[in-house]
Amino acid sequence: MTPATQRLQRDDTQNPGMLWVLEGEALWSRAAGTSAKACADCHGDATRTMRGVAVRHPRFDAALGRPVELGERIAQCRVRQGAAPPAPESAERLALQAYVAHQSRGLPIAPDDDPRLAPFRERGRQFYEQRLGALNLACTQCHDTLAGGRLGGSVIPQGHPTGYPIYRLEWQGLGSLQRRLRGCLSGVRAEPFAPGAVEWVELELFLMQRARGMLLESPAVRP
């Protein structure tokens, strides 16, 4: 990040990701679905009840028998409200996710130690180290071995998921970690998984474990 990008992220009056946070705050208190209830009716004041939630996701869902990431958890809550689940990357889902994640800004990432997550996290690690696509590259080759170098004029980051949902200047909008991962797979000429596939969550589990102790920045700003 250049000093200018860092300043943009740190100033909430200039950080464009805060537009989604403000929309999420409005949605939090707005009745939705056939229940005519708002998120606040069940969860109360998000600044208190959602503090620390984002740094512990993905978490295991006993009903589904697999882990879910924060955006999917929000979609499940919408269904319980009697509303249609917001699609991945939809404005509603990103806004609510940004608002919830923002409540944990500045907290250290603390992955859930639930033993049921272990096999999913291990598959995420294997995927991170697996060569993929026509370019035959693994995530670890860029984000570990070559981190700090340059690719196409851009600095190669370490690939830590500390700022999601994130505002990217390249996108001119907010996006989820899954959107960023799809971009990586496309970049190595590999076929991305379907939206919402468990493979994305497995990789996120590993990345959050890899970033344990780092501070959450959402909504972060990146080039």
Three-class SS state of 150 = strand
* Residue at token pair 């979609």: 75
* Residue at token pair 């995420």: 124
The one-letter amino acid at 18: M
Beta-carbon contacts of residue 178 (< 8 Å; ≥ 6 apart) = 69, 71, 88, 89, 195, 196, 200, 204
Q: Please say whether the beta carbons of 93 and 165 come within 8 A.
A: no
Catalytically active residues are 184
The one-letter amino acid at 72: E
